[in-house]
Homo-oligomer: A and B are copies of this chain.
Amino acid sequence: MHRFKEILKAEEKKITAALRDEINRLDPVVRPLVLHLVNAGGKRIRPLMTVLTAGAFGCSDPMIYALGGAMELLHGATLMHDDVVDGAELRRGSPATHTVFGINRSILAGDVLLAACMRIVLRSRNFEIMESVALAAEKTAAGEVEELHNLRNPQLDFAGYLRIITGKTACLAACACEIGAMQAGAPPERSRAAAAFGLELGIAFQMVDDALDIAPQSVTGKPAGGDLREGKVTPMFHFYLETLSPRERPEFIEAFSSGSFSESALRSITSRMRERGCAERTRALASEHLLKAAEYLALVPEGQEREILRALIAHVRDRDY
């Protein structure tokens, strides 16, 4: 992304300004929680996807930055609730919102953000955009419920996994691109292509994230094997299972299902997963989705914005932190 540094910097500045405006319009009682979350960092990837897709289709309407801000706030709402649900202590290297302001306030502030996002999007006066955002918000939360529902379920197959990550991660990325195209007045089939680009990119992003679960703490900043500990079924689980002998499998499945891995067992398993190429196989799956993303991206008008979106594909592929 280095050669686009100047453009990205300029766009990020406008996104940050729009985001600040929207946060200032929130009820004063929730602002401190939102500022805590937003100021902790985040790369504003979703707003960038909105702004860049709109730019590719020739949109110069300043409303696009407010829409980008709405995407970040919707993402923020899901993070606030996710961190409560996961009992996460840290987010973006800072204390998670609920550890500072309490669980109750974080639940309700997330609700404010969710509703505020819809209120902002309404300013576009575009039904298709509003529908896209409402559906994405609904699918994101439903995907998370389905994930909870399938924790420690070794029967969850690949189709189920794909449904879960499409919901919890990819739908919002698809929406971010789609509403950019829609706000630019792109023809419906091009908006659909932009959405499909975001969807495939989001799926690949989550798969790479799942592959990074066994990376050493020195690389990612968090202990390896978190998904195994929490009982999340990802491709890593299935690829590892395939390398086990029929005699080894029942014990592994039993420990996974009952959540009874010892820390030393987790160290051995993640180490064996590394040796046996489970992360590489998962990244290979991600690459297939990135190929599809590139195909859909070809339906977006060429230009600098499309080049940056293409660079995002390589960024997702090569991510190792």
**A→B interface (CB under 8 Å):** 26-27, 29-30, 77-78, 81, 84-85, 102, 104-105, 107-112, 114-116, 118-119, 122, 125, 127, 130-131, 134-135, 137-142, 144-146, 148-149
Contact = CB atoms under 8 A, between A and B. Distances in A.
A112 B29 contact: no
B141 A111 contact: yes
Given A27-B142, A125-B127, A148 B108 contact: yes
A127 B122 contact: yes
Tell me how many chains of this kind the complex includes. 2
A291 B146 CA distance: 48
Contact of A134 (B110, B122, B146, B148): B122
A232 to B, nearest CB: 14
Given A108-B141, A111-B140, A122-B134, 8 more contacts: A27-B139, A29-B149, A84-B107, A85-B107, A104-B148, A105-B145, A115-B137, A119-B134
Interface of A is mostly: helix
Contact of A111 (B26, B27, B110, B149): B110
Contacts of A135: 115, 119
5 contacts: A27-B146, A78-B111, A107-B107, A108-B141, A115-B135
A108 B77 CA distance: 11
A231 B29 CA distance: 18
Nearest to A150: B29
Contacts of A85: 104, 107-108
A142 B77 CA distance: 14
